[in-house]
A and B are shown apart, each in its own frame.
Chain A
Amino acid sequence: MTDKEQNDILEQWLAQYKSLIFKIVRSYAFTAMDREDLFQEISLQVWRSVPSFRGECAVTTWLYRVSLNTAIRFSQRERKRSENRADLNDSHQILLEADAHHDQRLEWLYGEISKLNAIDKSITLLMLEDFSYREMASIVGITETNIGVRINRIKKLLIEKSKKHDLHGV
């Protein structure tokens, strides 16, 4: 596969599934700089993964797999802040804030997701994207029962917190 073909596929995937990557970026990175950095890292890993994609699963499953693995490792590793800053100064900004309507409930949901640990965060994202237990198990690499247990716990937690939020606005 030539570099051009690889670039074309990446662009096509980004055009079609960019929302998916934005959601992951927003859930795992909390400053504009980190989001920019994580988005670049995910794009690079997706680009690298293009030749390995054999069409054995849906593109969305593939993108989630590559992006979540990258995001989890990103949130764990110690980042060299000065190096990132230098990278950003060298290039133009890649992620430009869209003039989208800001829904407070969405802000709240992201806030709650950000408080979860890296693994539960991934499962929550997959759950909100309507992946089946089987698909989630194949992406995460744990049993469907384990996925079920975690999902029940996360749902219960989110619903309880939303009730508190509705009652007290906190």
Chain B
Amino acid sequence: MTENNRHDSDGERTAPDGGTTAAQRHRETNYLEEEVNLLKPSTEFMRDHLRLIWTGFIIWAVLVFGPVTATALAPETMTMTIPGGFPLHYFLVAIGAPAGALILSVWYARRRDALDEKYGISHGGDA
């Protein structure tokens, strides 16, 4: 394939000196030269993004599998009636999980937009 990048492979890894901003370092990164590995983020952007993703994922896992597991472990406590008439486990699963996932999604999408802003990226178009 034609290799007519503006960057030479050596130019990419400009060490981020204290004075540059995330947006500047972003412009100096050639994302096509950096490995993609879920467990080993190779760019500053990817590190920031994955921190967001894993935080969300852990909260999600607790939200989705936490209540049902707690119910299996401590059925007495988890099935007690809460104000509103619901047994606790039923409320956490039927209402807590879907509503929680929705709130978490809004949180992620907003934080992801903030990440774009930090790196000086604009998607243009509507939005």
The answer to whether A and B assemble together is: no
